[in-house]
Each structure stands twice: as C-alpha cells, then as structure tokens.
Amino acid sequence: MAHLSEIFQDIVGKANVLTKEMDTAYYRSGFRYGFGEAAAVVFPNTLVQQWQVLQAAVDAQCAIIMQATKTGLTGGSSPSGFDYDRPVVIINTSRLRGLKLLKHGTQALAFPGTTLFELSQELKKINRVPHSVLGSTTIGATVIGGVANNAGGALCKRGSSYTEFALYARVNQQGSLELVDHLGIQHLGDTPEEILQRLESGDFTEDDLIDDARAASDTDYVNRIRDLEATVPNRYNADPKRLFEASGSAGKVACFAVRVDTFAAPKKKQVFMLGTNDPAHLVTLRRHILSSFEHLPEMCEYLNRNTFTVAQKYGKDVALAIKHLGTDRLPKAYALKAKAEHLLHKIPFLPRYLPDIFLYYASKFFPQHLPKRLLKHNNDYEHMLILVTADEAIEESRRYLQDEWSRIDGVGFFECSEQEQEAALLHRFSAAGAGIRYQNVHQGSTEEVLALDIALLSNDQSWAEALPEELTQNMVLELSYGHYLCHVFHHVYIYRKGTDLEHMKRLLLERLEARGAKFPAEHNVGHLYEAEQVVKDFHQQLDPTNTFNPGIGKTSKSRR
C-alpha cells in the first residue's frame, strides 16, 4: 500500500493524500452513521487527476469509495466496518467544483464537488432555482450526490434528483476501467484525458449540446403526487423508473459530470404555520390540496411536538451555526469536530461524542433563537405543518386556510413574517440531527438511534403511527418529521439501554411493509437498509466486479 500511496502522491501531490488514522478519521465516518477502514483518502484537483487516481486504484485491485461532502444519512459515502477483503481507497471529490449554466440557464453542468448551495447561488443571478431543495443543501450536499442517491428533498412538485445525462467511469466485467460518455456534449475528444480536460476547461459551445428524448429531471412527479389511489408510493429509492446509469447509482460508478434541469424562481413566497391535535385533519387537508388546488405549494414540512421540542433544545447550535457562520465554513467545522472526536475517543474515561455534548451545553448560553409565535404553536398543537407557497399558490392557499381550514374545531394557522419563515425552515433542518444529539447527551442510558426513512402509500390515512406496547415499552423518545404532501416521513426512535434494536427495527419494518410502504424513501440504502432485488441487480449491472462501494445495501463486500 505504501507504493500505491506514492503513486497517488505523484498524481495529486503529497499534501492531497492522507494515510494517518487521525487525518482520515473524518472521511472514514458517516455524517450520522457508519465508520470503517481506509488505507488512504485522496483529493484530486482536476477531473483528469480523478481519472488517473481511479486507474491506479483499479490496477491495484482496491475497493473504491467515492465521496464528496458526505452529507448522506445512511453511511453510503463512507466505509462500514473493518472486514473488507482488500485495501479501501476513498476518493474525495469535494475540490472539483466546476459549474456551467447551459441553454440560457435552463440546464446546468455540474462536476463532482459542485454543491446545491453553489448552484442555487449561481441560478439566483438569473432568477432560477435547481431541481431539488434538500435539507442538507445548507451543509454542502452536492448535485451529483443527490443524483446518485435519487435524493428527494422537500419540494412538492419536482420529485427525486434524476438525470439521464452523465459522464462517468465504471469497471467492466473484465476488471478494466472505462469512461462512459452520455453527457450529451459533442466533440470533446477521443480519449478519457482529452474529454475530461476539454470539459473542465469549458472548451465547447452551445452548438455542441445534444438534445434528444432523454430527461434531465424527474418530469412526471407533479402528476404522480396527485394520484391519491396509487398502488406504490410517490417516490422511493427502489423505483425502477428512477434507476438509470448515474441516477440511483449510490456510488457504484465514479461520476465526473451531469446535466440537470433548472426552473424559474418564484416571484414571491409566503410561509404558513398550521397546527392541529387530530392527525385526521391533516389527511383532509392533504387530499384537498392534491385533488383540488390548481397550484401546488412549494413545500409542506411536517413536525410532531416531540420533534419541535427536542430540536429546540438539542439542535439549537446547528441552527445558530448555519445562521451566523454560513454554509461555506460548516464542512471544515465538521472535519475539525471529527478530528477532535477521534483523539478524545482514545481517552478511556471520557464519554464518546464529547464535542457534541459540549456544543449542546454551550448553546444554552445563547438566548432563545425561536420566535414567540412558533413556540406558542408548538405548545398548542401536537402536529404542525410548515406550508411554503409561491406566486398563484399563495392566495389559493390563503383562501382555503381562511374559508375551510379555520372552520375546523381545534386547528390553527398563521402567516409567517420573514424572520419567522427563516426560523421555521432552519428549525426543520436542525430537527434532522436533534435525535442523534439527544442520544449522544444521554448515551449512558440509551441505545444508538434507530432511524427509519419511509414512503407511505398516498391513500394511507394511518400516517401518524399508534405503536403497540411491544414497541413502546422501552422507548424513551419518538420523533416524526417529513415531507407531508409527498407522504415521505422520517421516524427516529430512541430506546433504553439494553433494548434489542435489531428486533425493534425488524418489527417496525414488518408493520410498514404490510401497509405497502417503501423504505428507504430518499436517503438511499447506505449501510442501514437491505437493498431490494431490483436495486441489487441494477448495481451489479453497473459494477460487475464489486469494485465501487462494496457492501452497500447490505450486499457482499467481497470482490466478484
């Protein structure tokens, strides 16, 4: 392996190859889940360097994990465990951040490290927006990462991240690395090096773009979401219609670039906060909006009271960091925290995740970060919706809320000010990690977090779970949040120390499967879920030798 590290250093420079445990710890760990071994972490600075590093790793018969800012929640862009049958090399593409707008800004060309936040900022200049708005946009989620994981995000009208225009490398049945150019840009060259160099330098024109029947986004979602009697959920990771080359690949290929659609930005937005203590009221609202509204809302985010309250206490530092530090500094801050954790874990008498515990207690010294009306809403209602509307949908939603929703006993709503809007959406994002933080603080008395990412059938009216005693008797905390119109939910369960989590997970998933639910819904299988057979077949077709991301979806880690 020392010889291979020298080859990597010759390609990218010595400073861009990490081999020491302390230096690689952050990159060997998932954002929320997973940790494992890697012989080296390599940072290419150009697309040609990425190709050369890939070639060296393939020649050495290494297992390869492609990684960007690793914001995924199921450990899919980090190694899992220490039982690989060959050296693992992580290729981190976060420095390859090229971005070019095409076709008058109606499409974008994105490189491996291009983040959704960067794309959003570039599109803002021409009053356009990207296909997806993900919770992890603010901490560096990449465009290609979203495509690879069919990431769903919060938008009600545009579905999963998807494109059929991609340039990627794969290892074929003979074990050879090959470049597959389906990017739809002509005259880039004949060799991989020529194609990648000309692409990165922007040496092509609009006349070189190929426009055919291929899609650069999930164009049918706005129709699927309105089908209230569909026999499968609106969107889920194993949907065979959304598995195509780089889309849904989950790291089984090494993607260099994609072309994705962009969309006209709303001219005006308005956020409404809704609340009720009866989940049946939200069923009525959802079915009315999807069947009767001419203009769908932009987002419709759900939180139960537990989630709001726990996020208020245990996600406060995250909301403050995003608001005051900005998104550009967050990846470096997380890397620094991971290094500190790695060092502190070596001291036997210290609790694990000490930096998280410190941040939790430090946040208590800051004043209340949530506006009073949001806090009162949480006190009054068990179930809350953050309804984000734009343009024509604003008045349509306002009329419905005033004329029909407000007449129902035990419900409420108000229109958010700009400050309340920002706080509500930040709070919804910070809720995603609040359960983890709670468990870290209470690790002495609780098991690791059990988190499920599920897509329910559109006609499933029992969306608010009433779990039997077998599943609740040892439960300390149950959080529920998600994308309500899409019927995609994230459930976080925390159990007392000593609980058999695998048994609890099996029982929970069996109940969901009996109702026609699909899982995972949008976070992809990672190392948490067993992939459905259609996904296993798709991944094996992409990667017949099991070179890339071995073990994903609880499959074999061994070389085929």
Centre a 10 Å sphere on the Cβ of residue 477 and count the other Cβ atoms it contains. Answer: 18
Q: How far apart are CA 166 and CA 169, in angstroms?
A: 10
Centre a 10 Å sphere on the Cβ of residue 133 and count the other Cβ atoms it contains. Answer: 17
Which letter does DSSP use for residue 137 in this model? G
Q: How far apart are CA 42 and CA 53, in angstroms?
A: 8
pLDDT in tens, 265-289: 999 999 999 999 999 999 999 999 9
233: preceding bond cis by omega (within 30 degrees): no
pLDDT in tens, 68-98: 988 787 889 999 999 999 999 999 999 999 9
Mean pLDDT over 444-467 rounds to: 93
Residue type, 346: K
pLDDT band at residue 343, thresholds of 50, 70 and 90?
Answer: confident
Predicted confidence (pLDDT) at residue 481 exceeds the cutoff of 70: yes
Tell me how far the alpha carbon of residue 208 is from its chain's centroid. 32
pLDDT band at residue 250, thresholds of 50, 70 and 90?
Answer: very high
Task: Report the percent of the chain where pLDDT is more than 70.
Answer: 97
Residues 6+ away with beta carbon under 8 Å from 182: 164, 165, 166, 167, 245
pLDDT in tens, 98-129: 999 999 999 999 999 999 888 988 999 999 99
383 contacts 276 by C-beta, under 8 angstroms: yes
Q: Which token pair is 445?
A: 């008395």
pLDDT in tens, 161-194: 999 999 999 999 999 999 999 999 999 999 999 9
Q: In this predicted structure, what is the pLDDT of residue 416?
A: 97
Q: How far apart are CA 375 and CA 218, in angstroms?
A: 37
**Sign of torsion over alpha carbons 410, 411, 416, 421:** positive
Q: In this predicted structure, what is the pLDDT of residue 327?
A: 61
18 contacts 335 by C-beta, under 8 angstroms: no
Q: In this predicted structure, what is the pLDDT of residue 329?
A: 67
Predicted confidence (pLDDT) at residue 334 exceeds the cutoff of 70: no
**What stretch of H or E contains 439?**
helix 418-441
Predicted confidence (pLDDT) at residue 460 exceeds the cutoff of 70: yes
Q: In this predicted structure, what is the pLDDT of residue 172?
A: 97
Predicted confidence (pLDDT) at residue 332 exceeds the cutoff of 70: no
Task: Report the percent of the chain where pLDDT is more than 90.
Answer: 77
pLDDT in tens, 129-144: 998 776 555 567 899 9
Which own/partner contact pairs does 306-309 have at CB distance under 8 Å and 24+ positions apart? 306/477, 306/478, 306/479, 306/480, 307/431, 307/434, 307/479, 307/480, 307/481, 307/492, 308/378, 308/384, 308/427, 308/431, 309/378
**What stretch of H or E contains 101?**
strand 99-102
Mean pLDDT of the chain: 92
| Strand locations in 391-524 (E) | 411-415, 450-455, 475-483, 488-495
257 contacts 99 by C-beta, under 8 angstroms: no
pLDDT in tens, 398-412: 999 999 999 999 999
